[in-house]
Amino acid sequence: MPLLSLENITKSYDKKTLVLKKFNLSVDSGEIVAIIGKSGSGKSTVLNIIAGIDSADGGRYTFQGNDMLELSGDKMTVFRRENIGFVLQHFALIENNTVFKNIALPLYLKHEPKKVIKEKVVAIAEELEIEEKLGKIPKQLSGGEAQRVAIARAIINQPSLILADEPTGALDENTGLKIMQIFQKLNKKGHTFIIVTHDPSIAAMCDRTIKIKDGKNI
Partner 1 sequence: MRSIIFEEIKSFVINRTGVAVLLIIAFSFSFIAVNITLTDFIYASNEQSAAEESYGDKTFYKITFIGEDEVINRLSSDKYKENIKNLYDSLKTSSLFDYNCTFVDSMLFYNADDAEYSSDDFPPYKKECLLGYEEGDADFYTADGMLYLKAVYASSGFEKEQHVKLSSGSWFTPEDFNVSSPDNIVLPVLLGNAYKDIYQIGDKIENAHPATSKAITLSVIGFLNENSYFYDNNNEKTILNRYMVIPNCDISYDYVLDDQSYESFFSDTYNIFNKIINARIICSNENADAASEMFYKMLNDNKLYEFSLINETSGMQQYLSGLEDQTVSCGIIAVFMILLSVVMFCFQVYYNIRKNRKKYGIYIINGITLKQLFVLMIANALTIFILSDILLCILNFLLNNGVVLDFGTNDYTIIVLFVIETLLTVFMAFFGLFKLKKMNLCTLLRENE
Closest distance between partner 1 and the C-beta of residue 64, in Å? Answer: 17
Closest distance between partner 1 and the C-beta of residue 110, in Å? Answer: 8
Give every CB contact of residue 83 below 8 A, 6+ residues apart in sequence.
63, 159, 160, 161
State which amino acid sits at residue 32.
Answer: I
The H-assigned helical ranges of the chain are 43-51, 73-83, 99-109, 114-127, 143-155, 173-188, 200-204
Can you tell me which of 3, 20, 27, 51 binds partner 1, judged by CB under 8 A?
51
Interaction of residue 77 with partner 1, rule CB under 8 A: yes
Q: How many residues bind partner 1 (CB under 8 A)?
A: 30
Query: Of 93 and 179, which has the nearer Cβ to partner 1?
Result: 93
Closest distance between partner 1 and the C-beta of residue 39, in Å? Answer: 10
Residue 50: which of 74, 26, 32 has the closest Cα?
26
Query: Of 26 and 97, which has the nearer Cβ to partner 1?
Result: 97
Interaction of residue 42 with partner 1, rule CB under 8 A: no
Site for partner 1 in 99-158 (CB under 8 A): 101, 105-106, 108-111, 153
3-state secondary structure 145-157: HHHHHHHHHHHCC
Closest distance between partner 1 and the C-beta of residue 204, in Å? Answer: 24
- Three-state DSSP class for 84? strand
Closest distance between partner 1 and the C-beta of residue 132, in Å? Answer: 22
State which amino acid sits at residue 182.
Answer: I
Positive or negative: CA dihedral 35, 40, 46, 48: positive
The span from the CA of 61 to the CA of 59, in Å, is 7
Interaction of residue 48 with partner 1, rule CB under 8 A: yes
The span from the CA of 106 to the CA of 102, in Å, is 9
- Three-state DSSP class for 83? helix
Query: Of 109 and 218, which has the nearer Cβ to partner 1?
Result: 109
Site for partner 1 in 15-34 (CB under 8 A): none
Binding site for partner 1 (CB under 8 A): 44-45, 48, 51, 53-54, 73-74, 77-78, 80-82, 86, 88-90, 92-94, 96-97, 101, 105-106, 108-111, 153
